[in-house]
Structure 1
Amino acid sequence: MNLTLEQIQDFKGKYPRQIWSLFFSEMWERFCFYGMRGMLVFFMISELKFGDQQANLQYGATQAFVYAFTFVGGLFADKILGFRKSLFWGGLLMIVGSLILAFEPHQFFFLGIAFTVVGTGFFKPNISTMVGKLYKSDDTRRDAGFSLFYAGINLGALLGGYLCIAIGKGEMLSSIIPEDKRWNVAFGLAAIVMVISLINFVFTQRRMGPIGLAPQKILADGTKVALEKWKEYGVYVLSLIFVPLIMVMVSVPQYTDYFMWTVGPLTLIYLFYEMSKVTSPERKKLWAALIFILFSILFWGIYEQSGGSLSIFAAKNLNKDLLGLDPNGVNNSGGAFFIIFLAPLFGLLWIWLSKRKLEPNTIIKFGLGFIFLGLGYYVLFATRFFADLQGITSLNIFTIALLVITFGELCLSPIGLSIMTKLSTEKLQGMMMGLWFLASAYGQYVAGIIGAGMATAKEGSSNMDALIAYTDGYKQLGLYALIAGVLLIIISPFVKKLMQEVR
């Protein structure tokens, strides 16, 4: 089915047909990613016998490198591979990493993780860019499409994040899986769903027309020809060389500091170099994109406490007054659960407001995201008022906080993916999407520093002391988020001018 780009973008209804295929490929890839993510700290502590601090440091390093490598993957996709080949290659590397862990997770743990890090870098930014290509630049339905796509991300996160760790710990299928094989099966499940993701994408390609094909070289006479094959093969070889390098850097968390203090400035220098080669209107849009990216670092630094301080808070300071559910389980899956139901509704809300000329522009949505985030952390602070004398407080109130924080995420994260595709130039879309995820890497890095500070403050204290220390910290984070939200709304006229016709 050789569709043209115009035929794909000229769709009827709320969503293009192709978005559902990308939805399912991304859902299974996120199952693999969040399944692996959910197992890391528990596996390092229970099986590799790491201390809590060491495990959390190495978890933070892994997450930072995962998101940082999306910049590299996006750059190679822009310049050489194209989105389709980049996505497929990344998926293969993720399968290899999962299979290594399924075969011998104790001996080859960091090698398997390194393959997964590099593979995710090639897969993640490029499928998001392909979603953006389904829409014309002025199509108001784009935000709704990214909100639906974001629901697929979280469906995979919910399923993978729960099933993999449950199998590994022996809480599921323990009667049929031998105890010494549970972790092998859990990591193997991540590999199986990644295979499903790639098979789905192979069939998806037939309806994608020219979207995601490799870039071509333009000769002096204007003729377009394919790039030299050695460049494509060189990317494959180079990415395999990255694997042992990433393995060493993830296994020694101190290297994360050196990496984060180096890659950010170098990336900005390269971005400024690319900006010097574009037209003035395109440069203004890229400046606007950079403002979104910088604010997103602060957002994720505050938001991403769920894997660190909120996990400890849930384990030590929450009861089970919400249907008898486990507090850590609610902390790990509550956000994804809310997003699955709310993301399509938010998408439809933007369409409804757009038809009535009431839809806020993207910078206002970002500001609202911060305000909801801040309000959610103030609800976390309010849990102290429901605590007993032992410092145990209400899971119900905690869950309300997760709901409010989810409102903030839905105002920012899917809209952020969308705005990167709107503001990027044609030749820089993969790189800018990678830069968006690089900001997430810095957010993970900042979140680790914040969480470590809270953990140090409560060391050796009682549950009540810990409750006071954590809730004081959450109140402070809530204040920072509210200030950022108000600031974004104040500067929205300036950013709107930079964005020009983009909403």
Structure 2
Amino acid sequence: MEINQSIEEIQNFKGKYPKQLWYLFFSEMWERFCFYGMRGMLYFYMVHYLLMDKEAANLQYGATQAWVYAFTFIGGLFADKIFGFRKSLFWGGLLMIVGSLILAINPKSFFFVGVSFSIVGTGFFKPNISSMVGKLYKEGDSRTDAGFSLFYAGVNLGALIGGYVCIAIGKGQMLSNLIPDNLKWNVAFGLAAVVMLISLLTFTQTQKSLGEIGLSPLLHLEKSKRRIYEWITYIGSILIVPIIIVMVSNTVYTDYFMYAIGPISILYLAYEMKGFSIVENKKLVAAVIFMLFSIIFWAFFEQSGGSLSDFAAENLNSTVLGISLDPNGVNNSANSFFVIAFAALVGLVWLWMAKRKIEPNTVIKFGLAFLFLAGGFWVFYYTKFFADASGKTSLDLFTFGWFVITFGELCLSPIGMSAMTKLSPQKTQAVIMGMWFLASAYGQYFAGLLGANIAKASKNASNLEKLNVYADGYYQLAIYALAAGLVLIAISPLIKKLMQEVK
């Protein structure tokens, strides 16, 4: 493989962003179209076409998403030890295409088969492209947060389009005059496969610009021996799909897995820490603290795919600023729209503040994230006061809630990915990034449990009564988010000491 630039040449870029960031931006954008398009359809399809009970569907949604993010830890591990970032990304993309095509052929009969292929594929793809973004910057480069914020805009551009378009096609709200009614969900799932193919083509046509970033860690071995390790990984990742099918379709097995994978990952990190200095280990402890708080954040935020999806389908009207829009599509994509609109601006604000030495550190940014999260859920709660007699309430106000939460996400998610690359030693960066997404898996898992409890409390209620139950549940989440943010800000001096020179 031709290597055009050294890492040093890549990292010595001029301006705000390296050119390679734009290539990774577009590859990630299309992959996120696929992922969020699928994610936005899961709960609705399970309730309305697989005819699952809403409580069970919330648990199923939480389990499915938990497995998606849990596999990012495993994908990061194999990238670190065998594949390298690039092969891991490509293999994951292929598996995601297979999963989407299976769902496109027959979503009712092969739902869990297609979902399981997508789970394994996302595990190989997601943590490694984020790690490659981190490699574009020198340690301590003040432009890193801005770079991750721009990259995050790419994530959300894909999520915006995929989150709205896929479910709108499936529900017959878009292109209904072109797509036969009996094929609308097949087309919706198939579209995810098409855009994932575009993502892979984007990456393969631009990867030479990455120099040696993301190449196999086994290049020092003989080619034949390296191929053996790689083929074992290929075969193993396919053989695990039937196991995932069983685990995902029976949420009790997901419970057992979640009880085990977190402690196992911490023990593995403790084993790795034996080879690092005290300074490096303090940074890793700080990284783990950020992961634990992120679990709480995502448990609340990811109500979007479960309880908020149900809330959107049954309790929201269908206009935003007088424009007729599908409420489920808005729920799936409003957050992404606001991220796109404000991510680059927020990144530039961090740069402006850094130049004047007034930029808040990562801990304070995390604390602010929870305060914005609390504000957004309070807005969701407040929608109850605008409901009509049928239990329908303002989609405008609901969308404003996502506007508020978006600033919380921008204070946590891109900053968190950046912090993981700064706080972890070079040889464990993909594993740490995988653990960051594993924390998201726990967030997804608890999101499912929270959503199931809300659905259970509103069972057999009228639509207006159900709205009040959901709104009161969101009020409780707002209180808990506020408390978490205040605690994090209060202990920020301790975490700053653990972080050493990392800001």
Name the TM-score class by shorter chain. over 0.9
Question: Per-residue deviation at 1:270?
Answer: 1.2
**Corresponding residue number in structure 2 for 1:280:** 278
Match of 1:76 among 44, 68, 78: 78
C-alpha distance in 2 between matches for 1:268 and 1:78: 17
1:202 equivalenced with 2:200 (yes/no):
no
C-alpha distance in 1 between matches for 2:389 and 2:312: 17
1:20-419 equivalence runs, <5 A: 20-216=22-218, 228-320=226-318, 322=320, 323=322, 324-419=324-419
Residue type at the aligned position of 1:70: T
**Corresponding residue number in structure 2 for 1:7:** 9
Residue type at the aligned position of 1:212: G
C-alpha distance in 2 between matches for 1:60 and 1:87: 24
C-alpha distance in 2 between matches for 1:395 and 1:191: 31
Question: What is the CA deviation profile of residues 13-37 of structure 1, one whole-angstrom value per residue up to 9, with x for unaligned ones?
Answer: 1111000000000011111111111
In terms of mean alpha carbon deviation, does 465-474 or 66-75 score higher? 465-474
In terms of mean alpha carbon deviation, does 396-405 or 225-234 score higher? 225-234
Q: 1:67 to 1:394 in 2, by over 3 A?
A: same
Unaligned ranges ≥5, structure 2: none
Question: What is the CA deviation profile of residues 176-208 of structure 1, one whole-angstrom value per residue up to 9, with x for unaligned ones?
Answer: 333333322222211111111111101221100
**Corresponding residue number in structure 2 for 1:454:** 454
Question: Per-residue deviation at 1:314?
Answer: 2.6
SS in 2 for 1:357: coil
In terms of mean alpha carbon deviation, does 196-205 or 306-315 score higher? 306-315
Equivalent residues of 2:168, 2:329 under 8 A apart: no
C-alpha distance in 1 between matches for 2:447 and 2:127: 22
Residue type at the aligned position of 1:373: L
Residue type at the aligned position of 2:295: I
SS in 2 for 1:278: coil
C-alpha distance in 1 between matches for 2:69 and 2:346: 26
C-alpha distance in 1 between matches for 2:255 and 2:161: 32
C-alpha distance in 2 between matches for 1:169 and 1:395: 18
Q: 1:55 to 1:382 in 2, by over 3 A?
A: closer
C-alpha distance in 2 between matches for 1:33 and 1:81: 22
TM-score, normalisation: structure 1:
0.95
C-alpha distance in 1 between matches for 2:41 and 2:62: 13
Question: Per-residue deviation at 1:390?
Answer: 4.6
C-alpha distance in 1 between matches for 2:448 and 2:465: 21
In terms of mean alpha carbon deviation, does 287-296 or 173-182 score higher? 173-182
Question: Per-residue deviation at 1:391?
Answer: 4.1
TM-score, normalisation: structure 2:
0.95
Question: What is the CA deviation profile of residues 328-348 of structure 1, one whole-angstrom value per residue up to 9, with x for unaligned ones?
Answer: 332221111111111111111
SS in 2 for 1:482: helix
Question: Per-residue deviation at 1:353?
Answer: 0.7
Superposition RMSD in Å: 1.8
In terms of mean alpha carbon deviation, does 342-351 or 472-481 score higher? 472-481
**Corresponding residue number in structure 2 for 1:221:** none
Identity in percent? 64
C-alpha distance in 2 between matches for 1:397 and 1:390: 17
In terms of mean alpha carbon deviation, does 435-444 or 483-492 score higher? 483-492
Question: Per-residue deviation at 1:225?
Answer: 6.9
SS in 2 for 1:305: helix
Equivalent residues of 2:55, 2:451 under 8 A apart: no
Question: Per-residue deviation at 1:351?
Answer: 0.6
- How many residue pairs match? The answer is 498
Question: What is the CA deviation profile of residues 115-150 of structure 1, one whole-angstrom value per residue up to 9, with x for unaligned ones?
Answer: 111010000000000000000111111111111111
SS in 1 for 2:139: coil
Equivalent residues of 2:384, 2:467 under 8 A apart: yes
Equivalent residues of 2:79, 2:128 under 8 A apart: yes
Match of 2:19 among 17, 20, 29: 17
In terms of mean alpha carbon deviation, does 238-247 or 158-167 score higher? 158-167
C-alpha distance in 2 between matches for 1:375 and 1:43: 30
Question: What is the CA deviation profile of residues 341-386 of structure 1, one whole-angstrom value per residue up to 9, with x for unaligned ones?
Answer: 1111111111111111111110110000011111111222222333
1:424 equivalenced with 2:434 (yes/no):
no
Q: 1:285 to 1:242 in 2, by over 3 A?
A: same
C-alpha distance in 1 between matches for 2:319 and 2:177: 30
Q: 1:376 to 1:42 in 2, by over 3 A?
A: closer
In terms of mean alpha carbon deviation, does 267-276 or 70-79 score higher? 267-276
SS in 1 for 2:303: coil
1:476 equivalenced with 2:476 (yes/no):
yes
